[in-house]
């Protein structure tokens, strides 16, 4: 259904004209994408046959080829004209090079999804990609609820005598870029931190329930240990509340910080930190 909507958004179908649709496009195609004009080879547009562009610019005779045109006869695509240059770059080279501190990566990923380019989506969504700072500071990512979740932790008066004890370690990693001596207060976050969970699988599932992301270690049985789970939200305090409600107490904490220069031409440094909080339940 999504593909159908995407096609219909950039195509105009006229039953009277369908029979006259040509079977091929010119070697060099002129495009108007959101007001930006592009010239590219037809072979570039169809280099990913399963993509949206590959389908609507294919040489097959169907309604998808009856594209809308602007007043000058250019094929018109109603998308972000600025970001389309990176879509073309990917179609040409099967890779994309973005400027440093590129602020539109999320929007470009949406464009890649629209044009049905899953490999480009993967390039723009590495494993450690984090949501924007606005998401981090103003909301709980991947989880709409703000309170405690539906978990099985009972109140202290109902705690069974045979409840399992054990350790859970909460890991917290983040990094930022800070300017040289003249710009020591100008810190730019490179990553929004992710909260890692280490310990016995059964304990982690008991405490964090559905807010626990197990996708990186999905086959662990409850009696085994893992160091690859992470939480779907981004606030340490919330994880501490959940551990406390299930009877855990913090027993240890350690942290490390490293710094390295961004390049030889600048005094900017990348600061990386990793902190672990160890919780134990008797």
Place of tokens 């976050």: 189
* pLDDT score recorded for residue 101: 81
Percent of the chain with pLDDT over 90: 39
CB distance 35 to 81 below 8 Å? yes
The answer, yes or no, to whether residue 71 has pLDDT greater than 70, is yes
CA 279/CA 243 separation, integer angstroms: 8
Q: Which residue has better confidence, 75 or 101? A: 75
Within 115-159, where are the H helices?
118-124, 133-138
pLDDT digits (tens, 9 = 90+) for 228-238: 899 988 888 99
Q: pTM score, two decimals?
A: 0.44
CA 126/CA 207 separation, integer angstroms: 28
Percent of the chain with pLDDT over 70: 66
pLDDT digits (tens, 9 = 90+) for 101-142: 888 888 999 999 999 999 999 888 755 444 444 444 434 444
CB distance 57 to 45 below 8 Å? yes
* pLDDT score recorded for residue 188: 58
The answer, yes or no, to whether residue 62 has pLDDT greater than 80, is no
pLDDT digits (tens, 9 = 90+) for 33-60: 999 999 999 999 999 999 999 988 886 6
CA 175/CA 193 separation, integer angstroms: 8
């Amino acid at each position: 259904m999504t593909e159908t909507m995407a096609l219909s958004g950039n195509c105009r179908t006229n039953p009277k004209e369908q029979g006259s649709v040509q079977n091929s496009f010119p070697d060099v195609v002129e495009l108007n994408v959101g007001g930006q004009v592009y010239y590219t080879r037809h072979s570039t547009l169809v280099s990913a046959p399963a993509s949206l562009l590959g389908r609507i610019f294919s040489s097959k005779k169907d309604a998808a080829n009856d594209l809308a045109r602007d007043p000058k006869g250019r094929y018109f695509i109603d998308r972000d004209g600025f970001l389309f240059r990176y879509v073309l770059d990917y179609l040409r080279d099967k890779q994309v090079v973005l400027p440093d501190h590129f602020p539109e990566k999320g929007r470009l990923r949406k464009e890649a999804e629209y044009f049905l380019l899953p490999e480009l989506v993967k390039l723009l969504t590495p494993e450690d990609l984090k949501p924007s700072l606005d998401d981090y500071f103003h909301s709980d990512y991947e989880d709409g609820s703000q309170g405690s979740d539906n978990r099985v932790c009972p109140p202290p008066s109902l705690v069974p005598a045979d409840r399992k004890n054990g350790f859970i370690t909460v890991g917290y990693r983040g990094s930022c870029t800070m300017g040289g001596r003249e710009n020591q207060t100008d810190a730019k976050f490179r990553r929004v931190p992710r909260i890692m969970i280490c310990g016995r699988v059964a304990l982690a599932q008991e405490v964090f329930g559905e807010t626990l992301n197990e996708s990186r270690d999905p086959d662990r049985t409850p009696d085994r240990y893992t160091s690859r789970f992470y939480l779907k939200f981004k606030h340490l305090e919330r994880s501490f509340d959940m551990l406390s409600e299930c009877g855990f107490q913090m027993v240890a904490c350690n942290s490390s910080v490293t710094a390295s220069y961004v390049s030889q031409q600048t005094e900017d440094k990348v600061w990386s930190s990793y902190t672990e909080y160890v919780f134990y339940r008797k």
